[in-house]
Amino acid sequence: MFFLPRGLRRRWAARRIEIDDAAWQDLRTSLPLLASLTAQESLRLRELTPQFLGEKAIDPVGGCVLGERERLLIGALACLPILNLSLDYYDSWYSIVVYPGGFVARHEYVDEAGAVHATDAELVGEAWSQGPVIISWEDVEAAYQLDGFNVLIHELAHKLDMLAEGANGMPPLHAGMSRQAWSSAFMRAYEDLCEKVEGGVETALDPYATESPGEFFAVVSEAFFEIPQLLYGEYPEVYEQMKLFYRQDPLQRLRLAAQS
Ligand SMILES: [Zn+2]
């Protein structure tokens, strides 16, 4: 019998991808999301990114062309959420499909009478439980602005969420985390946001979060990394739970970076 333990396979795969130091420094300083990382976090991301790029396929489609710089951006962004978790959290999928811009996805469903229907939807990102992450490059590039929108983090949050019970806003919590504390923080915030959106009140979070608890978790994940101060200001209990789940504190990171 032949087998290759995961750790070994990972090191072997990662060895094939070399990241140029100048390209890494360029990305680190030009991407605001990475600029506030501590030296230790940056080093860890620098280690994880080639491993990720060695393990996953990044497939441009529909005329999209991706060079080394673009692939590096995708790799680093993808590794940010699991910086203090592990690449194992992405083991259930293999590739990222990249369209140049928004794409039309056809979804089929069967109604109660057994008839099959198809709907077309214009999307910028999509993640299925058994399948690739699909994203629009145009929207990945928007990661250069810290505005709370980050399609890659959004779709990867769905993937993390799907690791337990499907994409319902309850990812696999770590030992020591309280399911009840998570549920009550998220439920209160979700209901508050739904009420505000229904009442036409302008919200700090993208109103798309009110589509479902699963979308709420994905949108809150974007906010956690991009605009942690707004998320904390609006829903501190949710921020605290996210901090425990992602094992990162982007707000503290920003404060420290501002002082230095
Ligand atoms: Zn979504």
Which residue in 88, 105, 92, 100 sits closest to 59, CA to CA? 100
CATH 1.10.472.150-classified regions of the chain: 1-145
Residue 159 and residue 21: Cα distance in Å, rounded? 30
CA of 258 to the centre of ligand 1 (A): 31
CATH 3.30.200.20 fits 164-260, yes or no: no
CA of 107 to the centre of ligand 1 (A): 15
CA of 171 to the centre of ligand 1 (A): 14
CATH 3.40.390.10-classified regions of the chain: 164-260
The SS3 call for residue 94 is coil
Instruction: Confirm whether pTM is higher than 0.75.
Output: yes
Q: Which residue has the higher pLDDT, 60 or 118?
A: 60
CA of 257 to the centre of ligand 1 (A): 30
pLDDT of residue 1: 46
Which residue in 22, 96, 47, 45 sits closest to 225, CA to CA? 45
| Long-range CB contact pairs, 48-52, < 8 A, 24+ | 48/79, 48/82, 48/83, 48/87, 49/19, 49/75, 49/76, 49/79, 50/14, 50/17, 50/18, 50/19, 50/75, 51/10, 51/11, 51/13, 51/14, 51/17, 51/87, 52/78, 52/79, 52/87, 52/90
pLDDT tens, position by position, 136-154: 999 999 888 999 999 999 9
Contacts (Cβ under 8 Å, ≥6 apart) of 169: 161, 186, 190, 212, 213, 214, 216, 217
pLDDT of residue 109: 78
CA of 122 to the centre of ligand 1 (A): 13
Average pLDDT over residues 72-89: 96
CA of 175 to the centre of ligand 1 (A): 26
CA of 126 to the centre of ligand 1 (A): 7
Name which CATH class applies to 1-145: mainly alpha
Q: Which residue has the tokens 């990661």?
A: 143
CA of 218 to the centre of ligand 1 (A): 6
Contacts (Cβ under 8 Å, ≥6 apart) of 155: 125, 126, 127, 133, 134, 135, 218
Average pLDDT over residues 62-74: 94
CA of 134 to the centre of ligand 1 (A): 11
CA of 109 to the centre of ligand 1 (A): 18
On average, the pLDDT of the chain sits at 90
Average pLDDT over residues 88-99: 93
As a whole number of Å, the CA-based R_g of the chain is 19
CA of 123 to the centre of ligand 1 (A): 10
CA of 169 to the centre of ligand 1 (A): 11
Average pLDDT over residues 75-99: 95
- Report H helices in 16-67: 21-30, 32-35, 39-55
Residue 131 and residue 88: Cα distance in Å, rounded? 16
CA-CA-CA-CA dihedral for 236, 238, 239, 240, to nearest 10: 90
pLDDT tens, position by position, 169-209: 999 999 999 999 999 999 999 999 999 999 999 999 999 99
CA of 38 to the centre of ligand 1 (A): 29
Dihedral (CA of 26, 15, 138, 67) sign: positive
Residue 98 and residue 101: Cα distance in Å, rounded? 8
Average pLDDT over residues 144-167: 93
In order, the DSSP letters of 122-133 are EESEEE-TTS-E
Longest dimension (CA), the chain: 63
CA of 222 to the centre of ligand 1 (A): 11
pLDDT beyond 90 at 111: no
